[in-house]
Amino acid sequence: MTILVTGGAGFIGSNFVLDWLAQSDETVINLDKLTYAGNLENLASLQADGRHIFVRGDVGDRVLVDGLLAEHRPRAVLHFAAESHVDRSIHGPEDFIQTNIVATFRLLEAARTYWSALPVTEQVDFRFLHVSTDEVYGALSPDDPPFAETNRYEPNSPYSASKAASDHLVRAWHHTYGMPVLTTNCSNNYGPYHFPEKLIPLMIVNALAGKPLPVYGNGLQVRDWLYVKDHCSAIRRVLEAGALGETYNIGGWNEKPNIEIVQRVCELLDEMRPKADGSSYKMQITHVVDRPGHDRRYAIDARKIERELGWKPAETFDTGIRKTVQWYLDNPAWVEHVQTGAYHDWVAKQYEVA
Ligand code: NAD
Ligand code: TYD
């Protein structure tokens, strides 16, 4: 058996591929364009592993995707590939529209064509799992209940609007064509291999480099944090047992204001890598101008996936953030390659890329 993973060289996708192959012998076809966010160094441990077949390419390339589906006959497509950073979407939304909407539409069409032609027994088992975000629901006020699957879509950033559009396409392909789709909407992830443009890895690498820790505005915006491996286990569970056409919110009930996250990272670094002069990394915290349209609060009501699929996260925020800080301390070469762009050279050396 085989699965097709898109975006498997990114943060969550690479964690998913590593976890999948640690638990299953099912081959993974990993289709990734290797944008700035794609890093095959994350998958270095799989270099000699025949169960991982990496293909560099765009999910919107119909000829390529049709060929991969015909050749490898996967039982499922797991769609992680996306442009994922809100700040980049504010400065340059075009790529978000192209990948998150147009390429997702093309991938859906390729999957539909493939699925329609499968023998009935394989058709019944086929799944298209779309990985999405809680940001499609918009922003919560401090007193609002967390996002449930029944909340209205009210995306506020170009990123969340593009993901909302892709969720709607996936939904429509189920209702119109009967495609066996599943959608997951997860809260903010953190953990190993996280590109240091997002809050937690940026704070860790900047702190260690003696640079300012830029907190947008007053830092009182709230995000709901989930350790990436718990997101991966939830996706595996939804793939295994999710009801067709349903959406599942994924989160670990870990709401925290940004400033508290940054302070916690500093405290852990003070303990695990104390500065020579004895001062705290907190001295590097710098409040900077706020993000335009900054969503006040995200929070996930995860009761549906807990109740219907019996999923629970394995990590608390305390255990997950400690593991994350430790991972960055243990992997200075990965950090350096990402910061200097050398990971692209590494890829070119290790893999034949088109
Ligand atoms: P990421 O930016 O780290 O990785 C995205 C990957 O997709 C990269 O490897 C990139 O090369 C690849 N890619 C981009 N455009 C492509 C294209 N056109 N064709 C093929 N590959 C392409 O993102 P991530 O944080 O790992 O997020 C993965 C998915 O999870 C996204 O769909 C995102 O919306 C969703 N999500 C992320 C979070 C989070 O906190 N990071 C939370 C909820 C949902
Ligand atoms: P981010 O990691 O970009 O995820 P998202 O915007 O998708 O939630 O940001 C998480 C929160 O941290 C968000 O409220 C913006 C804030 N933030 C900062 O305060 N400083 C930073 O340098 C970054 C990248 C984010």
pLDDT, one tens digit per residue, over 127-186 is: 999 999 999 999 999 999 999 999 999 999 999 999 999 999 999 999 999 999 999 999
Q: What is the DSSP letter of 58?
A: -
Residue whose Cα lies nearest atom 14 of ligand 2: it is: 221
Q: What is the pTM of this model?
A: 0.97
Residue whose Cα lies nearest atom 10 of ligand 2: it is: 199
- Give me the pLDDT at residue 188, please: 98
Which of the four pLDDT bands, split at 50, 70 and 90, describes residue 224? very high
- Give me the pLDDT at residue 343, please: 72
- Give me the pLDDT at residue 126, please: 98
- Give me the pLDDT at residue 340, please: 86
Q: Where are the alpha helices (DSSP H) in the chain?
A: 11-23, 62-72, 86-91, 94-96, 104-116, 120-125, 158-177, 199-208, 228-241, 258-272, 303-309, 317-330, 332-340, 342-350
- Give me the pLDDT at residue 270, please: 98
| Contact predicate 238/173, CB 8 Å | no
Gap from CA of 153 to ligand 2 centroid (Å): 21
Q: What is the extent of the structural domain holding 190?
A: 2-351
Residue 8 has pLDDT above 60, yes or no: yes
Gap from CA of 80 to ligand 2 centroid (Å): 20
- Give me the pLDDT at residue 339, please: 86
Residue 353 has pLDDT above 60, yes or no: no
Per residue in 232-286, pLDDT tens?
999 999 999 999 999 999 999 999 999 999 999 999 999 999 999 999 999 999 9
Report the C-alpha gap between 18 and 109 in whole angstroms.
Answer: 28
Token pair of 58, please?
Answer: 């765009």
Instruction: Return phi, psi of residue 134, to 5°.
Output: -75, -10
Residue whose Cα lies nearest atom 23 of ligand 2: it is: 199
Which residues form the pocket of ligand 1, taking CB atoms under 6 Å from any ligand atom? Answer: 6-7, 9-13, 32-35, 37-38, 58-60, 80-84, 99, 103, 131-133, 163, 186, 188-189, 195
Token pair of 223, please?
Answer: 């995000």
Ligand 2 close to Cβ of residue 205 (< 6 A): no
Which of the four pLDDT bands, split at 50, 70 and 90, describes residue 190? very high
Give the strand order in the sheet containing 222-227: 188-190, 222-227, 255-257
Number of domains in the chain: 1
Residue 350 has pLDDT above 60, yes or no: no
Beta bridge partners of 182: 129
Q: In this structure, what CATH number is given to the domain that contains residue 156?
A: 3.40.50.720
- Give me the pLDDT at residue 348, please: 57
In testing the pocket of ligand 1, which one of 42, 68, 78, 80 has its CB within 8 Å of the most ligand atoms?
80
Per residue in 44-103, pLDDT tens?
999 999 999 999 999 999 999 999 999 999 999 999 999 999 999 999 999 999 999 999
Gap from CA of 203 to ligand 2 centroid (Å): 10
DSSP-assigned states of every residue in 231-279: HHHHHHHHHHHPPTT-EEEE--S-EEEHHHHHHHHHHHHHHHS--TT--
In testing the pocket of ligand 1, which one of 59, 63, 84 has its CB within 8 Å of the most ligand atoms?
84
